[in-house]
Amino acid sequence: MSGPKDRVQVVIAGAGPVGCVAATYLAQRGIDVLVADAGSDSAQDLRASTFHPPTLEMLDSLGVADTLIAMGLKAPVYHWRDRRSGTVFAFDFAELEGDTRFPFRVQCEQYHLAKMLSTRLAELDSVQLLFDHRVVYLEQDDSGVNVTLEHMTGLRHVRADYVIGADGANSIVRKWLGIEFDGFTYPEKFLCLSTERPIEQDIPGLAHVNYVSDPDEWLVLLRVPTLWRVLVPANDGDVNGDLLSDEKKDKVFDGLVGPGQNVQTRHRTIYRVHQRVAKQFRSGRVMLVGDAAHLNNPLGGFGMNSGVHDAFNLCEKLVEVLGGRADDSVLDLYDRQRRTVTHDFTQQQTIENMALMRAGQSDAHQKRLETMRTLAEDPDKRRAYLLRQSMLTSLRDAAAIG
């Protein structure tokens, strides 16, 4: 890595998966980048674990898809299960063989991607990767952006041609720009438990990805290489103690693998889920990507993937602008394309996926079951559904926006 520079072409706030993808894309095309992250290393918490086909194509163009696939599990098939009736609908991405070079999901924790990319970025001369550096202030004028970074020994001032805000849900970049983050927060919290127990032996025939609709408690069962992850809705009234208690954990696993099994967990995380979209993805020389720009529920695994798609869309245009081959009004196209598909696809599809999971709790249960049966059994509808769930449709829709 080269020494500190006070003038760079692009500052990226945040070295999560989306910031690291943006930095890698730009650095591979000779752009001078500074990446600042408030944390002391890539975060290792339990978050996204699914990589969709178009994301794998993008990562392949950065030269990292093979390593990621080797670290993860290929999951061509996923199940939508109705626990009450025992009905299982299987959806197989292998049907999309003619549409993508990667007709499967890869199940792998997102921190493997962020860690792999940040390790590679740290070795590049054109990149300054600064952990323990928090973006605390920005101010832009016609020719650039002044960014202030806070670190243990004081403040550092950098001037950039452009800034990318990849600083997550509570984005300081978005706040400095004064951009509203409209949407709503679900009333229920989500509890994520992980276990080394081989649940596939308790429930034979499980896919690596299972969405389970249930009248009492819907759940998502996801396999990553060394663990099963279980995601359930949780309310404070569910248990006497807190939602991370053994009481709650036992309640979840008793319903899943049978009573009294005392299943051991590796992680227990409780979090709130939002559906929110920033009113603008661009303000002058500053752009938002990933969770800084949009949040959605995890049903379908679109959060991180759509952030990677933002990064690619934006960086393709930014390289042209910085190379003098395009006017910077092309960055408005980034805003139009990605904000439109965020509203029309990611938000709509995740809200719909949530409604299907909750179906067991409403009178519409039978109707929703029939909806899934039609999707699974009608070849044309199934193909359209697979194209949506694999996110291929959203990218085609974005490309069609001029």
Residues of this chain that bind ligand FAD (CB under 6 A): 13-19, 36-39, 43, 47-50, 110, 134-135, 166-168, 172, 269, 271, 290-291, 298, 301-305, 307
Q: How far is the CB of 50 from ligand FAD (least distance, A)?
A: 6
Q: How far is the CB of 38 from ligand FAD (least distance, A)?
A: 4
Residue closer to ligand FAD by CB (options 242, 327) is: 242
Q: How far is the CB of 264 from ligand FAD (least distance, A)?
A: 21
Residue closer to ligand FAD by CB (options 14, 144) is: 14
Q: How far is the CB of 169 from ligand FAD (least distance, A)?
A: 6
Residue closer to ligand FAD by CB (options 51, 91) is: 51
Q: Identify residue 266 by its one-letter amino acid code.
A: R
Q: How far is the CB of 155 from ligand FAD (least distance, A)?
A: 13
Q: How far is the CB of 231 from ligand FAD (least distance, A)?
A: 7
Q: Which residues contact 292 (CB under 8 A, 6 or more apart)?
A: 13, 14, 165, 166, 167, 168, 169, 171, 173, 174, 278
Task: Indicate the angle between helix axes 330-341 and 303-322, nearest 10 degrees.
Answer: 170
Q: How far is the CB of 130 from ligand FAD (least distance, A)?
A: 9
- C-beta separation of 377 from 324 below 8 A: no
- State the virtual CA torsion across 11, 16, 19, 25 in degrees, nearest 10: 130
Look up residue 233 and give its two tokens.
Answer: 């809705």
Q: How far is the CB of 296 from ligand FAD (least distance, A)?
A: 8
Of 41, 314, 43, nearest to 163 by C-alpha is 314
Residue closer to ligand FAD by CB (options 315, 369) is: 315
Residue closer to ligand FAD by CB (options 191, 369) is: 191
Distance, in Å, from the CA atom of 244 to the CA atom of 189, rounded to the nearest integer, reads 12
Residue closer to ligand FAD by CB (options 132, 344) is: 132
Q: Which helix (H) or strand (E) holds 249?
A: helix 246-257
- C-beta separation of 14 from 23 below 8 A: no
Q: How far is the CB of 384 from ligand FAD (least distance, A)?
A: 22
Distance, in Å, from the CA atom of 113 to the CA atom of 367, rounded to the nearest integer, reads 39
Residue closer to ligand FAD by CB (options 56, 369) is: 56
Of 138, 132, 170, 112, nearest to 37 by C-alpha is 132
Residue count of the chain = 402
Look up residue 237 and give its two tokens.
Answer: 């009234």
Residue closer to ligand FAD by CB (options 168, 369) is: 168
Burial of 339: CB neighbours in 10 Å, binned 0-12, 13-18, 19+: buried
- C-beta separation of 56 from 69 below 8 A: yes
- State the virtual CA torsion across 239, 243, 249, 255 in degrees, nearest 10: 60
Cα distances (Å, whole numbers) of residue 282 to 165, 176, 325 = 10, 13, 20
Residue closer to ligand FAD by CB (options 15, 319) is: 15
Look up residue 312 and give its two tokens.
Answer: 């690619």
Q: How far is the CB of 26 from ligand FAD (least distance, A)?
A: 15
Q: Is 263 helix (H, G, I), strand (E, B) or coil?
A: coil
Residue closer to ligand FAD by CB (options 39, 183) is: 39
Q: Beta 33-36 vs 87-92: how paired, if at all?
A: unpaired
